[in-house]
Chain A
C-alpha cells in the first residue's frame, strides 16, 4: 500500500502533456497572514495550482477567498464539487467539507470524524499524494496541532515535495514544527519565498524525458550511491527495492538541481550531510497509532490476550522492529498494558523498539504527539495511557513509556534479540528486495521463541519462507513460528562491507549443519510415511498440527474440515478417550505417557494398539500409535455396543460445546452493552472535541475579523485625522437634516459644538445669508440623489463660499443624508476679478494700439495668433504651421525669422522683426513683430507699421526734393546774378535787379506754398503777385477767367510777369508814364491761353530806348518758351500791349 510504483499522477506524466503542478496548502490559526504573504509573491506567470485547506467553521461563510484575492494576481475562489484544478488558480476549501482530489478533480467530502478529530489537511494531502505523486507539493503554514504532518509523509512517500513555513515566522508554530519534526521536509521557508522555490523545483523536474533518462542513470549508479551511504552511515541499502531507491534518489537530484546521477554521486561522496538527507529520504515511513486497527484488534485477541493469560514467571518479550517514530511500539505496549489491567495480572513486559534512524527514535522516546492523531488510539484506552501536554499535544503516559526500550538497531546488521514472544515488524519488508527479505525472515525465526508470533504489515508476506512460520490469522498477517530448527544468523557477526562475502559466509554457515530436520527431508519423509508408526502432532489442546503414517485405522477423516481439527474428535470409537486423557496428562506433566492395549474400532474391524504421548519442547505433543496386534475385521453387531459406550461422553461433550456457545453469546451481548456505553462516552468526547475545533475555527474567523477591524481602524483613523485637520468646512447631515458630523473648520459658517450633533441644521444660526437656499438644496439632494452646487456669502465678513451638497450613501448605496462641503471663494473671486480687470486692460491696450498677440507653439512647430494678429496677417484661422508662416514672408526675411524663432536655448533676447507682408488683398503691409522668450514660451505682439513706414518714405522723398530745389534755387540765383551782371549799368542797379528778381522768386515760391486747401494755383494769383508791389498805383485792372496753373508753370509765369511788371514800372504806366494797366486773359481755344498786358498812356509816348529788345526781353522770350508760349508786343503811341500766348498742360 505504501509501495505503489506509479501513482495516477505519474501515470499522467508518462502520458506526457499536462504540466499541472498541484500545491496543497494547509493552514489553520494564523494562516491567513501567511497565506497572504505567500500568495502575494505569485506573479502572473505562476502556473502552479493551489488548493488551500484551512480549518473553517462549518457554519459560517468564509471570507478567505475574498481576503486573499486582494493580495494576489492569481484567481482565487472557493472550490466547488467536481471542479478541476487549473494552473494559476487558488481554490479554497469551502466550510463544512473536506476535500479530496482524484484525477485532478476536487470533490467535497463529508467528514466522518466529529469536529476536533477531523484532519482535513492530512486527508487532502493523502489524496493529493496518491493522485498527483511527484507532481504534488504540500505547504504547511501556521496553525496549532499537527494536522498536515501525516499528509506530508504521504506526499513525500509518493515522491512529492514538502514545504513548511519557518516556525519562527509562523504565528502559531504547532503545525509547521510538527511537520518539520518528521525530518522529511524539503524546504523550510518564509511564506514569501515559497512560490518561487516551488516554481524552481518544478521547472527542474519538468522535463519528463530527462526524468526517464535520469531513472536509468540512477539505477546504474545505485550501487555506488548505496556504497557511499554505507560508508558514512554504516547502513546498507543495497538490499532495498531498486524501484524505491531509484525514485528517492531521483527526487534528491531534483531538489538539489543536479544534472545527473553521476553528479549526485560526486555530491554525496563530498558531502556527508547529503548521506544523512538521502538516508532520511529512504526511510520515509508512514506510521500511526493502531495503524490498521482491525489487525490490531486481531493481534490483541489472538496473541496479546493469550500471552498475558499464559504468562508464567518469565517476562513477556516483545520486539518492534522498524518502529520509526514509536507509534506502533506504543500501540502494542498499550494493548499489553490493557490486557494486564483487565486480567488483573502482574507481569513484566519488555518491549524492544528499534529503528536505524536515531532521529525518529528521539521522537519516539519523547512520546509526544499531536492531539490530532489521538483519534487513532481506541477511545477506551485513550485516557488511561495518554496525558495532555499543552493544547495541541499529548504524551504517552510514563507507565507505557517505561515498558519500551528504544534503541538504534539494524535488522540486517546488528545481532537480533532472542526469545521474543511477539515480533512486530510492519511495513519494513516492503522496502526490502527479495534477497534481503530472505535474509531477514530467518533472523526473525531465530529471534522468536518457539510458538512466538510474528506480526507483519498488511501487504507483507512470508514469501518463500513459509516453512518457518504459519499463519495464525493470515488476514491480519499474524504468524506463528514453526518449531523448525533455527539457525543463528551467523553472517551478522562479521560486519562485512562486502555483500558477496557476506553471502558466502551465510552459505558456509548453513553448510556444516549436522542435524537434518525431519520434516524437511524426502528420505525421512518416505521412512515416516511408509515404515514409521502412524504419528500425530497435536497442540496441548489436542488440535492436529501435523501427521504422518497410516492413521486410517485410528482416525476418521472428514474432508473439508481442515482447520482446527481436534485429534479427539477425529478419533475412531475407542481411541477418543485415550487421546483426550493422554494429551491432557502429558500436556500437564510435560512427561511422556503411554496408554496400552487400546482397541480402535472401525467399520472394517478392530485394532489393538499402544498410544504414546510425547510432549515436545515447543508445547506440542507427539502421539505415536504403536499396533499391538494384527488388525481383526469384525462383525457388524459389535458396532452397536461400541456406539453405546461412546455416546455418553459424546453427549457430554456436545452439551459442553453448546454451553460454550451460549456463553459466548452472553459475552457478546455484554460487549454490545459495553459498546453502547462506549459510544455514549464517545459522543461526550466528540462534543468536547467539537468545542475545541470550534475554538480553532473561531481563531480563524477572528483572524479574518481582526484583519477587517485593522482595515477599518486605519480607515477610521484616516477619517478622524481628516476631520480634525482639514481646513475644509464640512458638515454631514442625516436623512432628516440633522447634524451627524462636521469638521472643525465649519465654525466659519456654523457655530457648531460637539453637543450639536443630532440637531437639525435648520435650527442652527449660520453666518451666511442663504440659509433657506442651503436647506432647500439639502432637501433636493436627498430627494433626487444628485449633487447641487451653489454660492453662499457671509455678508458680515465679506466672504464667499462655494457649497457642494452631495448625497451621502450608506453601504447599501442608499441615500442616507447629505454632505455639505464649503470651499472659500473670496480670495479666488477677488483674484479672478483682479485678473479679469488686468486682462481687460491689457486687451484694451492691445486693441487701442492695434496690437496682436502671437505665440510660438511648443517645439516651434507653429504659431498661434489671436484675432487681431490674425486679422493683421490676413489669416482666417488662429494657427499656422511655422513653415507656412515662413513661406508667407518675403524671401528676404525668412531665414532670419526662422533662426530667431527656432532658437531653443532659452536665452533669446527680445527681438524685433519688421517685414512687408502681403495680406492677399493686394495691399502690402508692413508688420512689426516683437517678441521674447519667457521661460519656455516664446511670445510677443505684432502691429501694423504700414503708415509709419509710409511716412518715413515720404519724408525721405521730401528731403530729396528739398535738396533738389535748394540746389535748383542756387542755380537760378547764380543765373540771375550772372545775367544781371551782364546788363547792369551800375552796381546799385545790379543789386536792385537781382533783389527784385529774387523777390519775385520768393513770392512765386510763397504762392506755391500757400495753395488753399483743396484748391489750386490760378493765373490770377501769379499776375496779382507780380503787380503786388505796385498796388499803390491807380488803374491796375486784372481780369480773366479762372485758369488753374501747375506750380512749375507758375514759377516761370511769375518770373515772366515780374519782368513785365519791372519793365512797366521802369518805363511805363507803373513808373514814369501816366496811364492805366490792364491785364486780361482769355481762353483762345484748346489749351491755349492768351494774356494781354496792356498799358494805356494818358499822354502819347514815343518808343523809348528801353523798349528795344534787351536782356529782359530775351529772358521773357525764353521764359515763354519754357511754358511753350511766345510773346508778342504791339506798340502804338498811346498804348503798349504785350501778348503772352501759352498752353496750359494738365
Chain B
C-alpha cells in the first residue's frame, strides 16, 4: 500500500465473493498502484459497475450468482484485459474462450498479480 500509494495506473475491476480474499486482493491491487472497482460478489453487481476507464479486471470464476463469464464477455467486448483468479482448474476452457486472458491461480502471490496487472496496463 505504501509503495503504490502515490501512483495511479488506472481502475481495475475486482470480482470476488470471498470477503477476506476480496479484501486481500483489493489491498494487493491498490498496493500495485491501481484503483479498485468492487470487489463484487455477484455478477449483477459487477455488470452494473462496468466503467469505460477500466484498464484491467481481476475475476474470480465462481461468484455468488454463477460463473463470471457474462462479465468477462462484456469486458472482452470493451477490450478490457482480463486476469482470471481462481481455484478452479479450468485454464483450457478459459484460454479457449478468452484468448489473451491472463491467469493467476489461488492463492495468489502479490508479485504475480502485480506483474499481471502491469502487463495489462502496458498492453
Of all chain B residues, the one with the shortest Cβ separation from A997 is B20
Contact partner of B108 among A971, A1056, A1121, CB < 8 A?
Answer: A971
Please tell me if the beta carbons of B22 and A964 are within 8 angstroms of each other in the complex: no
Please tell me if the beta carbons of A974 and B17 are within 8 angstroms of each other in the complex: no
Of all chain A residues, the one with the shortest Cβ separation from B26 is A1118
> B35 contacts the other chain (Cβ, under 8 Å)?
no
B-contacting residues, A963-977, CB 8 Å: 963-968, 970-976
> A1055 contacts the other chain (Cβ, under 8 Å)?
yes
Please, which residues of chain A bring their CB within 8 A of the CB of B21?
A: 968, 971-972, 975
Please tell me if the beta carbons of A1048 and B20 are within 8 angstroms of each other in the complex: no
Please, which residues of chain B bring their CB within 8 A of the CB of A968?
A: 18, 21, 87, 106
Asked whether A1055 and B106 contact (CB < 8 A) given A963-B87, A964-B88, the answer is: no
Please, which residues of chain B bring their CB within 8 A of the CB of A982?
A: 27
Please, which residues of chain B bring their CB within 8 A of the CB of A974?
A: 24, 107
> A1114 contacts the other chain (Cβ, under 8 Å)?
yes
> A748 contacts the other chain (Cβ, under 8 Å)?
no
Please tell me if the beta carbons of A971 and B107 are within 8 angstroms of each other in the complex: yes
Contact partner of A1118 among B22, B45, B106, CB < 8 A?
Answer: B22
Please tell me if the beta carbons of B42 and A970 are within 8 angstroms of each other in the complex: no
Please tell me if the beta carbons of B41 and A971 are within 8 angstroms of each other in the complex: no
Contact partner of B18 among A978, A979, A1122, CB < 8 A?
Answer: A1122
> Could you give, for residues 3-29 of chain B, a 1 whenever the CB lies within 8 Å of some chain A CB and a 0 otherwise?
000000000000001111111111100
Please tell me if the beta carbons of B24 and A971 are within 8 angstroms of each other in the complex: yes
Please, which residues of chain B bring their CB within 8 A of the CB of A1124?
A: 41-42, 45
Interface centre among A974, A1055, A1056 (most CB of B within 10 A): A974
Please tell me if the beta carbons of A1123 and B41 are within 8 angstroms of each other in the complex: yes
> B77 contacts the other chain (Cβ, under 8 Å)?
no
Please tell me if the beta carbons of B23 and A965 are within 8 angstroms of each other in the complex: no
Of all chain B residues, the one with the shortest Cβ separation from A974 is B107
B-contacting residues, A871-913, CB 8 Å: none
> A706 contacts the other chain (Cβ, under 8 Å)?
no
Asked whether A1118 and B107 contact (CB < 8 A) given A971-B87, A974-B24, the answer is: no
Please tell me if the beta carbons of B20 and A976 are within 8 angstroms of each other in the complex: yes
> B81 contacts the other chain (Cβ, under 8 Å)?
no
Please, which residues of chain A bring their CB within 8 A of the CB of B41?
A: 1121-1124
Of all chain A residues, the one with the shortest Cβ separation from B109 is A974
> A1119 contacts the other chain (Cβ, under 8 Å)?
yes
> A144 contacts the other chain (Cβ, under 8 Å)?
no
B-contacting residues, A929-950, CB 8 Å: none
Contact partner of A1115 among B19, B25, B65, B107, CB < 8 A?
Answer: B19
Please tell me if the beta carbons of B89 and A1115 are within 8 angstroms of each other in the complex: no
Asked whether A1119 and B88 contact (CB < 8 A) given A967-B106, A1048-B64, the answer is: no
B-contacting residues, A1042-1061, CB 8 Å: 1048-1049, 1052, 1055-1056
A-contacting residues, B13-57, CB 8 Å: 17-27, 39, 41-42, 45
CA distance A1124 to B64 in the complex (A): 10
Asked whether A967 and B64 contact (CB < 8 A) given A1055-B20, A1118-B19, A1118-B23, the answer is: no
Of all chain A residues, the one with the shortest Cβ separation from B38 is A1121
Please, which residues of chain A bring their CB within 8 A of the CB of B42?
A: 1124
> Taking the nearest CB of chain A, how far is it from the CB of B36, in angstroms?
11
B-contacting residues, A946-992, CB 8 Å: 960, 963-968, 970-976, 978-979, 982
CA distance A966 to B18 in the complex (A): 13
Please, which residues of chain A bring their CB within 8 A of the CB of B114?
A: none
B-contacting residues, A1118-1145, CB 8 Å: 1118-1119, 1121-1124, 1145
> Taking the nearest CB of chain B, how far is it from the CB of A1116, in angstroms?
9
A-contacting residues, B71-113, CB 8 Å: 87-89, 105-108
> Taking the nearest CB of chain A, how far is it from the CB of B82, in angstroms?
18
Please, which residues of chain A bring their CB within 8 A of the CB of B20?
A: 972, 975-976, 979, 997, 1055, 1115
Of all chain B residues, the one with the shortest Cβ separation from A968 is B87
B-contacting residues, A1017-1074, CB 8 Å: 1048-1049, 1052, 1055-1056
CA distance A1059 to B45 in the complex (A): 25
Please tell me if the beta carbons of A971 and B106 are within 8 angstroms of each other in the complex: yes
> Taking the nearest CB of chain A, how far is it from the CB of B111, in angstroms?
13
Please tell me if the beta carbons of A970 and B106 are within 8 angstroms of each other in the complex: yes
CA distance A506 to B103 in the complex (A): 150
Asked whether A971 and B27 contact (CB < 8 A) given A960-B89, A1122-B41, the answer is: no
Please, which residues of chain B bring their CB within 8 A of the CB of A978?
A: 24, 27
Please tell me if the beta carbons of B19 and A1048 are within 8 angstroms of each other in the complex: no
Please, which residues of chain A bring their CB within 8 A of the CB of B17?
A: 1048, 1122
Interface centre among A975, A978, A1118 (most CB of B within 10 A): A975
Please, which residues of chain B bring their CB within 8 A of the CB of A975?
A: 18, 20-21, 23-25, 107
B-contacting residues, A1098-1126, CB 8 Å: 1114-1115, 1118-1119, 1121-1124
Please, which residues of chain A bring their CB within 8 A of the CB of B26?
A: 1118
Please tell me if the beta carbons of A963 and B64 are within 8 angstroms of each other in the complex: no
Please tell me if the beta carbons of A967 and B105 are within 8 angstroms of each other in the complex: yes
> Taking the nearest CB of chain B, how far is it from the CB of A437, in angstroms?
131
Please, which residues of chain A bring their CB within 8 A of the CB of B22?
A: 1118, 1122
Interface centre among B24, B26, B88 (most CB of A within 10 A): B24
Please tell me if the beta carbons of B107 and A963 are within 8 angstroms of each other in the complex: no
> Taking the nearest CB of chain A, how far is it from the CB of B117, in angstroms?
17
> Taking the nearest CB of chain B, how far is it from the CB of A982, in angstroms?
7
Of all chain A residues, the one with the shortest Cβ separation from B65 is A1145
Of all chain A residues, the one with the shortest Cβ separation from B28 is A978
Please, which residues of chain B bring their CB within 8 A of the CB of A1123?
A: 41
Of all chain A residues, the one with the shortest Cβ separation from B20 is A975
Interface centre among B25, B39, B64, B105 (most CB of A within 10 A): B64
B-contacting residues, A847-880, CB 8 Å: none
> Taking the nearest CB of chain A, how far is it from the CB of B45, in angstroms?
8
Contact partner of B19 among A970, A973, A1055, CB < 8 A?
Answer: A1055
CA distance A709 to B62 in the complex (A): 107
CA distance A965 to B18 in the complex (A): 11
CA distance A416 to B57 in the complex (A): 157
Of all chain A residues, the one with the shortest Cβ separation from B45 is A1124
Please tell me if the beta carbons of B89 and A963 are within 8 angstroms of each other in the complex: yes
> Taking the nearest CB of chain A, how far is it from the CB of B89, in angstroms?
7
Please tell me if the beta carbons of A964 and B24 are within 8 angstroms of each other in the complex: no
> Taking the nearest CB of chain A, how far is it from the CB of B116, in angstroms?
16
Please, which residues of chain B bring their CB within 8 A of the CB of A1114?
A: 23
Please, which residues of chain A bring their CB within 8 A of the CB of B88?
A: 960, 964
CA distance A1011 to B39 in the complex (A): 30
> Taking the nearest CB of chain A, how far is it from the CB of B102, in angstroms?
17
Please, which residues of chain A bring their CB within 8 A of the CB of B18?
A: 968, 971-972, 975, 1052, 1122
Chain B residues proximal to chain A, CB less than 8 Å: 17-27, 39, 41-42, 45, 62, 64-65, 87-89, 105-108
Cβ contacts A to B, 13 pairs, < 8 Å? A971-B18, A972-B18, A973-B107, A982-B27, A1048-B17, A1052-B18, A1055-B20, A1114-B23, A1118-B19, A1118-B22, A1121-B39, A1122-B18, A1124-B41
Chain A residues proximal to chain B, CB less than 8 Å: 960, 963-968, 970-976, 978-979, 982, 997, 1048-1049, 1052, 1055-1056, 1114-1115, 1118-1119, 1121-1124, 1145
With A971-B21, A976-B20 given, name 16 new contacts (CB 8 A): A967-B105, A967-B107, A968-B18, A968-B21, A968-B106, A972-B21, A975-B18, A975-B20, A975-B21, A975-B24, A979-B23, A982-B27, A1052-B19, A1055-B20, A1122-B41, A1124-B41
**What 5 pairs between A and B have smallest CB-CB spacing?**
A975-B24, A967-B87, A1119-B19, A975-B20, A971-B107
